[in-house]
Structures are given as C-alpha cells and as structure tokens.
Structure 1
C-alpha cells in the first residue's frame, strides 16, 4: 500500500512522506556517505570501545517485569546435548569435539535499539475524525504490524514450538540493520555535570551542557547521552537495586516541547542513551490525555528517529573528556532479524 493510500493527515511536525511514501528507515536516511566520511575523520588514535553491556544485564526482571535475561542452552544431537560432543563415524570416535548452542532472548532486555514498529500512536491518519492505531509513515497496526490475540501464543515458547506469532511486515528492525548504522557519533556527557543525581533534562539544561562542553550537533549526527546508568548496572553485577536505579542518573524530559523541537530541528539521526528509556519515566505530569512515553512518540512515531537504550558509554565518555573531544566514529547496527520490533546491538566506537 502506498503512502498516499495509508494516510491523508500526517502528525504535525512529522517527517511522514519526506523520505518517500513507503519509507521505513526514517532519519537513518540522513546517514549518507558524507556523514560516514565525517565519522572516519574523527578516528585519530584507532582505539575502539565496546558500547554493549553483557547481554545478561541488568539481571532479573525488576526493570521490566515482561523481560528476562537470555537463556543459553545446547542444541540437540540425536537424544544428547550437543556440547563437548565427540564425533563418531562408523562407530569410530574421531578427533573432533563439537559444541553448539541456542538462545531464547528478549530482544530489548539489555543494550538495544527500538525499531520504528516499537511505539505508534492513536492518530486520525484517514482524516475522518476517527483515530487509528498507526506507526511511522502511516503503517497500520493489525495490517503491517501483526500479533496474536491469544495469550498462549505470546511469551516464551514451549519446547518444540517453532512458530513466530508476531511480525512487523513493515518497519521491522532489519530496515535499520541494512543501513549499517555507521557515521559520526556525538557525546553529551550529562554524568560529568550531574554525577549519579536524578536530573530531568529539558531544553534549557541541555543547551547549557552543550555550551559548556562546546558540543555541536549537525544534521545526520548520531547523538549519545552518557548518564552513568549503565555503569551502575555493571557495578551491580546482575543484582540490580531497583530503588537506586529509579532515583539515579539523568533522563530527558519528554514533556518539554522545546526539547522535542530541538530534536526535530537538529536533524539528528538516532538518539541513544546508557539509561533505561532515554526519557524520564514515568513522564512529568500532564493535564489531559497524552502519550505515556512522549519522547518515544515524538521520535519513533513522528520523526522516524530510532532510540537506543542501555548502551555502555562510560569508558568512551571518560576517554573523550580526558582528551577534550566529543566526536567519534560510531558503528551500531542491530541484528538483521526480519519482523522484529527491537534488537540487541554490539556497537563499537572508534576514536
């Protein structure tokens, strides 16, 4: 279905249609070869940084009761676990020793990207006065983003159940992966200014931090927010203290319209943070009906800006500050998993 048929109205201030009627990448389209050259130009020491947490962190399911740590198990070879398995042929033991495994994984448990199918909105895209459930560029819930209606078809599958009952036929995370997600990263180091204090960052505070640190964000940049949250998860070693996490570290104020306008006007490509949701959650109180996750709605639904959460930024942020820098080459693709609405990322920064 073309964009001209999917929607008549587009949300105010959105990018729907700007990259084509059937676009599924959003602002990732601004990651041009010129932006990759800018990222490569920031590589001076050829020192890489791993920006992913171990994917079994944060540990448990306190941060999100629906998401659990990955379960790694060996595959089966006949009726035996395929781990440290000595190969036989014609009843003769060969020298090969084989191990092979599988993982059952909640894709947004740890360091991860949100696809544009992760958060949509109730919006009158048809122009008939009735709100529909739609996602970026007018893709439809139930048609383009599908899922089961029965709870038995959701959650962790039972042994032997190979069915996929959830699928984003549009806006799946593979669209982001196919772009390679490589270009210039820009660090905003909130932790350097606020430490582990819970600070709700609005536009005015953001501008003060950027001015003090001489940070400039240009169209096509990938913006990283260092708050220290992921370092706290590392230090807790798989046993998260929920109260401490919920009352610590900076997060963006998704209710600040000036901040949302800056995200729009800056033409940043992605917004990735080392905290749980990028924005402060629960959001600042608001009178009347509105989005529970206003920054997610603005970025994923309106602008096509992918959000990254729980990236491990502390070692990189410290190095950049010690060397008077805030730009670097960033390579951060998700898994090329068709139809998924989120994905882990083993991102790498190079300085």
Structure 2
C-alpha cells in the first residue's frame, strides 16, 4: 500500500488501490447510451480551437505555439518532394512534416499527473509530493534530474494521459451557459451563482455526466486573431471560484466525471487570497489530486452553446479522447459533440 492516510475529501482507493482513471470510472456503458439518446438531429460540432491558438505565449510564458519542420531527403527537404528524383518514371509529389507541440498550449486535457500536492500519506509527519491515489512524484511521475528539457525517461509511468485515451472518453455531457447569464464580464462564479444559473436553465447534473462551462473566453481568443491581449483576457469572462468550499463540495457530490471549460484554467488564476498554507490552484487540487477528475481547458464551445440555447437543450453526446501518448501529463484533443 502506497499510503496510510488519504487527503480529506478525497476518493483515493474508492476505485481500487492502483486506480489511474479516477472519476472516469463513472463513464459507464449506461452513460454512453444516455449520450447516444441525446442525438436527435445528427448534427456535429467541433469543440477544438485551431491548435495554434491562442497565439504567442501571453497566456502562459512556458507554452509556445506549434513549430513545424521536416526531414531531409536526397539533398532536399521532404516537402513537395518529387519522386522522379528517385525514378524518372514516378509522377508523385510527396510532403511529410513533423511538429513540436506543447501538449497543453491550446484545446487540451489535463492528465491526473499534471497537478498533485504535498501530503503526508505515509504518516511519518513529513509531507511528500504526490499525485492522485498516492502515486509518487519522482517514482511514478518521473522528472528530469537537471535542467535539460528533453531528457530520456522523463514521463508519467502512472497516471499518463494514455490511460484516459484508452477509455475513448465518450458519454453524455451537459453544457452550463455562463456567458448567457454573466456576459463577458470577469465574474467569480461561486456555488450559489452556479446553482442559480442551473436552476434558471433547468440544468441537472447526474453522476457520470461530463460538465462543460461556456464563458465566451475562447471566442475572445479567436477575435484576437493570434495576438492575444493578456490583460484583456485576464479581466474577461466568468471563471469558477476555486476557493469556495461549497463549490468544491458540489463537484464532489454531483458525481460529474470530467470538468471542462472554454477558458484558461477552469478556475480563477490566480485564485483569491487565502490564509495559511494552501494550493495556488485549489480547484485543480480538488479535482486532479483528490478526486481524479480530469480537466479540459480552452475548448471551443461557442457554436454548440448557441445551438443548445436556441433549441432549449443542455445535453449532448460528447466524444473527446486525448492523444494516446504514453507518459504525457496533458494532451491536445479535438472533441466532437453530437446532437
């Protein structure tokens, strides 16, 4: 057993001592069938931003846009390469490329190995760095020994994004339209306001549902056309108040399987000030570290939200697997909604 104590409010061990899926375990075949039942018109919506958005690194200085390149071939680059260079009888023209991609630059999933916390799980009186279900930093989520940014062996041997990908991430989803009620004003949405919005729109979240929050943030990104204004983005659109204990308790009690938003971090970052030692990202700590709830960020929800708003609906079928990239702590995704 990796731990004797589990964090207060966590579900460590509830899905098994070696579980790496967390609340994805609630995405059962029944939830898939419930999602399929929401498909009435056969319309589909792409829920991904172009993966070169937001542009630049104003949102996060450590993440950069994709960089394309290709390899050499017969003294030329392997792009618009005419195969008659190899055989005069060939008529083919071939292009091949590669890309350096920051896995959490644009529309993305956070793996459960993305954010952990310091906690005394073995009862020795010393807090150690851990991830969901007690998997250990340095042992199960292996980092570099020095400052090289491309060392071999740096990967999550547990809680990697490939575990999420293997489930196919399909089922019923519910969209909560914060933009409809808050506009594009910067608003901290606590439990009371979220429940008021759900009541006004007749929204019910049931165990296993995937919850999407539409705020309009991704729309702003597209309007900025690859040149984001950091100050404007930081002061626009609704965000969840991760410091609100009632909101965190609702996330626990609702049984939602994943939590998704069209904004940068789902929650306000930086979070409201708090006294004493605490997480800088309290909702990330609650979801990724304590409950095993994957977070989706920077999704494009605008067209879907407009359709659901016009049709008086909130539920749809969502399919959103990440890349099946072993050991990654996050991944781009190109989600699809069907209605």
TM-score category (smaller protein):
over 0.9
Number of the residue aligned with 1:31:
27
Q: How does 1:117-266 map to 2 (within 5 A)?
A: 117-151=113-147, 153-154=148-149, 164-266=152-254
Q: Which whole-Å CA distance do the structure 1 matches of 2:220 and 2:87 have between them?
A: 53
Q: Which whole-Å CA distance do the structure 2 matches of 1:22 and 1:201 have between them?
A: 34
1:76 to 72, 96, 101: 72
Instruction: Give aligned pairs, total.
Output: 339
Number of the residue aligned with 1:114:
110
Per-residue CA distance 1:63-119 (angstroms, 9 max, x = gap): 100000000112322432111111147642511111100000110000000000000
Unaligned runs of 5+ in 1: 158-162
Unaligned runs of 5+ in 2: none
Q: Which whole-Å CA distance do the structure 1 matches of 2:21 and 2:70 have between them?
A: 36
Number of the residue aligned with 2:8:
12
2:267 to 272, 279, 296: 279
Per-residue CA distance 1:162-203 (angstroms, 9 max, x = gap): x54420000000000000000001000000001100000000
Number of the residue aligned with 1:48:
44
Number of the residue aligned with 1:314:
302
Q: How does 1:267-346 map to 2 (within 5 A)?
A: 267-346=255-334
Number of the residue aligned with 1:160:
none
Q: Which whole-Å CA distance do the structure 1 matches of 2:338 and 2:169 have between them?
A: 14
SS of the residue 2:92 aligns to = strand
- Name the TM-score, length of structure 2 as normaliser: 0.98
Q: CA deviation at 1:150?
A: 1.6
- Name the TM-score, length of structure 1 as normaliser: 0.95
Q: RMSD value over aligned CA atoms?
A: 1.1
SS of the residue 1:210 aligns to = helix
**1:86 matches 2:82:** yes
- Cα pair distance change 1:78/1:148, threshold 3 Å: farther
Per-residue CA distance 1:121-177 (angstroms, 9 max, x = gap): 0000101111010000000000000111221x21xx5xxxxx544200000000000
Q: CA deviation at 1:15?
A: 1.1
Native 8 Å contact 1:198 1:247 kept in 2: yes
Q: How does 1:58-77 map to 2 (within 5 A)?
A: 58-77=54-73
Farther-moved stretch of structure 1 (257-266 vs 76-85) = 76-85
Q: Which whole-Å CA distance do the structure 1 matches of 2:294 and 2:50 have between them?
A: 21
- Cα pair distance change 1:170/1:95, threshold 3 Å: same
Q: Which whole-Å CA distance do the structure 2 matches of 1:130 and 1:98 have between them?
A: 58
**1:347 matches 2:335:** yes
Q: Which whole-Å CA distance do the structure 2 matches of 1:33 and 1:88 have between them?
A: 52
Q: Which whole-Å CA distance do the structure 1 matches of 2:336 and 2:14 have between them?
A: 30
